[in-house]
Structure 1
Amino acid sequence: MNSMTPSFSNLWHYVLLILLIFGSSAAASTYNLDTKLAGSSFFDNFNFYTGPDPTNGFVNYVSAAEAATLGLAGPGPNGAMYIGVDHSTTLSTSAPGRKSVRISSKKSWTHGLFIADIAHMPGGICGTWPAFWSFGPNWPNSGEIDVIEGVNSNHDNLMSLHTSSDCTVAGSGQTGTLQSNNCDGNLNGNAGCGSTASTDSSYGASFNAISGGVYATEWTSQYIKIWFFPRSNIPQDITNGVPDPETWGTPQANFQGSCDIASHFANHNLIFDTTFCGDWAANVWSSDPVCKSKAPTCVSYVASNPSAFIDAYWIINSVKVYTLGPAASSTSKKPGSSTKATNI
């Protein structure tokens, strides 16, 4: 036998090595549940922010104790959690602002799959600026990811990133419409890079009319993608707790391009808040034909019309965070590709 010819034993070792390499790669692509924020312990996992609004809103963020006393945070329908705003007090325009809630998760993450099942949001109401988002330390150097955001009578959700310099996105491979491609949070009035959703049902009154749905955000070292699934069309793998983004089709937002995601995003806390007016909603008040007909300024409207905000609330069924880990046994996955209109 030629000494250069590999033996059967050596060939078998090569085969085993290849199987181990590819098998390990396949296992590493599976998302496993890391944290579930839901039910009676939901608020235990969040800090209540009570400082001045960084966006200069006409808002008074209250503590957990005051929120509970005023009924601004607590149990909602069907085991969900409620986060609302004061909708009974008429204010002076020089007052601290309308009472509201801003919560930030005690735990932070770098990379993951974030699945938020939301039944109702405060969007589409003049004067409001609701958001579900995340950000890291030393803004904007650790990045910001805005999953749900809008102001005043907007009916299209805006998904965006805010970073330090040298991060741009291409805006391809998504169903949403790219609004800006430079993610530098210090430019263009802190606009960042953003895309508007391709369907009205992903935000505001239209979202609430269908009992909401699921927002899923996948954050890797290569990209950040955001999907929205209406209540009637939630993928079965999400409902079953074995989410597989590769089967979900084109996302509404696909943030990748000339941007090193790994160096721009890290250690994010999850945030829910509702502010009023501020740097965005107040500044575009006069360009919103619905809102500007109600009052000369955003602050005057918010101060004088408390009942306008009775529907400015969140109903959150759950937020689940998945991280990459070993593949689960194939027997743990439920077959089928049908959808299920239930909470997750």
Structure 2
Amino acid sequence: MRTTIACFLSLVAPAIVNATQYHLLKDYSGQSFFDGWADYGNFDNVTHGDVFYVNASMAASAKLAYVDPATNHAIIKVDNTTVVPFNSKRNAVRITTEESYGIGSLFVADMLHVPYGCSVWPAWWSKTPNWPAGGEIDMFEGVNQDTMNQMSLHTEPGCTQVNPNQTSTLVHSTDCSSKSHNNRGCIVVDPSNSSYGAGFANAGGGQFVTELAEDGISMWFFPRSEVPNSIASNMSSVDTSAFGIPLANWPNGGCNINKFFQPQHLIIDITLCGIFAGSPSVFNQTCSGDCYQTFVLGPPSGYDNAYFEIPFVRVYSSGNTNSGSGNARSSAKVLSLPMWLWTLVAGVALGSAF
């Protein structure tokens, strides 16, 4: 019986597809955008940036994190009004979702403006509480006056990028281990000059889409003029088959997603200088002077563009959207067959069984 079915299914093998239908699980948008996020409320002890991440009340009173009543868009920014004395830090914001989202999730972030400028280091990313166990996904990251977005994964040893199906050819590293190359991660860069910085803002921004699936992690960036209809507005479901080949892809073949990735908390932050933007070898590529003394200290020159403008962040799930757990169930491979073929398969199976 098994041989008969296997031979028959080989005739319809091209119809086997990934189940990539996702349904809306969580919508962070409008006046309630900041509901369900926790503020860091501490100095930057992760990337050693020259900022203090304020708590929610400070962020609201200083207008560092608020919803613009004219647009209903969330604004997240660096303090651009205060004169900072020596040996002090500039106020900024880091927020993390209270819920975590697991394998079988799709993250869609719509952004009209992202922070940029000398000393500025923004990120849209995710991690687990026990990092590096459970992994980290960097979906958007840039520094200083760079023009291209950098995407990467950070994991425990054993996860590498092997045979990716992606459009970007700018691969800076393939070992995702946090213990390799000073936790550089496995990096793919978007070759588009409109994926970060002034070019991003001038093009009207766009949408960053990340799929966390059993068969791999994939990322797309759609400039405003190229955003697919399926995610252009308030859609309750999304089919990733309409997105085309991902910009960046880390297949399961080189990195066992179930092993290295646990449910992720989503994070938006802006830091200044630190181990990346403030590294002299990086900073001096696009900026001059000293990162901390020239920019962070004194009058807030250069920080008028250090802000996010975000219409929405949406989380989709391939599992039960009514669960409310935030831990989306994994997608699976299914047979996309007409009913008459399923009937025939069942007939063959029953005939062989007897």
TM-score normalized by structure 2? 0.81
Aligned to 1:179: 172
Aligned to 1:9: none
One-letter amino acid matched to 1:199: S
Aligned to 1:322: 316
Offset at residue 236 of structure 1 (A): 1.1
Pair 1:228–1:286, CA change in 2 (3 A): closer
Offset at residue 222 of structure 1 (A): 1.7
Q: Alignment partner for residue 135 of structure 1, among 113, 127, 136?
A: 127
Offset at residue 27 of structure 1 (A): 10
1-side partners of 2:80 and 2:320: how far apart? 48
Offset at residue 285 of structure 1 (A): 5.3
2:47 counterpart of 1:55: yes
2:74 counterpart of 1:78: no
Aligned to 2:142: 150
Offset at residue 92 of structure 1 (A): 2.6
2-side partners of 1:140 and 1:171: how far apart? 24
2-side partners of 1:197 and 1:186: how far apart? 25
Aligned to 1:246: 241
User: What SS does the aligned partner of 1:304 have?
Assistant: coil
C-alpha offsets along residues 282-324 of structure 1, whole Å, 9 cap, x if unaligned? 11456534312xx234444221341310110001101111111
Offset at residue 197 of structure 1 (A): 0.2
Query: Mean alpha-carbon deviation: is it higher for 249-258 or for 268-277?
Result: 249-258
2-side partners of 1:27 and 1:162: how far apart? 25
One-letter amino acid matched to 1:36: D
Q: Tell me which protein shows more helix as a share of its residues.
A: 1
Q: Is the 8 A contact 1:117 1:213 kept in 2?
A: yes
User: What SS does the aligned partner of 1:214 have?
Assistant: strand
2-side partners of 1:83 and 1:279: how far apart? 22
Aligned to 1:218: 211
Q: Is the 8 A contact 1:198 1:252 kept in 2?
A: no
Q: Alignment partner for residue 277 of structure 1, among 273, 278, 282?
A: 273
Aligned to 1:228: 221
Aligned to 1:334: none
C-alpha offsets along residues 89-117 of structure 1, whole Å, 9 cap, x if unaligned? 2223311x110000000110102011111
Pair 1:148–1:305, CA change in 2 (3 A): farther
1-side partners of 2:115 and 2:291: how far apart? 20
Structure 1: stretches of 5+ with no match in the other structure: 5-13, 328-344
Q: Is the 8 A contact 1:58 1:299 kept in 2?
A: no
Structure 2: stretches of 5+ with no match in the other structure: 322-354
2-side partners of 1:284 and 1:255: how far apart? 30
1-side partners of 2:222 and 2:86: how far apart? 39
Query: Mean alpha-carbon deviation: is it higher for 315-324 or for 298-307?
Result: 298-307
User: What SS does the aligned partner of 2:99 have?
Assistant: coil
Q: Alignment partner for residue 295 of structure 2, among 285, 292, 301?
A: 301
Pair 1:306–1:224, CA change in 2 (3 A): same
Offset at residue 70 of structure 1 (A): 0.5
Pair 1:287–1:272, CA change in 2 (3 A): closer
Aligned to 2:259: 263
2-side partners of 1:194 and 1:290: how far apart? 20
1-side partners of 2:297 and 2:130: how far apart? 33
Q: Is the 8 A contact 2:33 2:67 kept in 1?
A: no
Pair 1:263–1:303, CA change in 2 (3 A): same
Q: Is the 8 A contact 2:273 2:291 kept in 1?
A: no
Offset at residue 126 of structure 1 (A): 0.5
User: What SS does the aligned partner of 2:244 have?
Assistant: coil
One-letter amino acid matched to 2:95: I
2:202 counterpart of 1:206: no
Aligned to 2:85: 92
Q: Alignment partner for residue 64 of structure 1, among 47, 56, 62?
A: 56
- Paired positions, count: 303
Pair 1:198–1:290, CA change in 2 (3 A): closer
Matches within 5 A, 1:106-145: 106-111=98-103, 112-123=105-116, 125-145=117-137
Pair 1:170–1:305, CA change in 2 (3 A): farther
Q: Alignment partner for residue 284 of structure 2, among 279, 282, 288?
A: 288
C-alpha offsets along residues 5-61 of structure 1, whole Å, 9 cap, x if unaligned? xxxxxxxxx9xxx9xxx9xx9895421111111111111110000123111110011
| Identical pairs, percent | 38
Q: Is the 8 A contact 2:283 2:291 kept in 1?
A: no
TM-score normalized by structure 1? 0.83
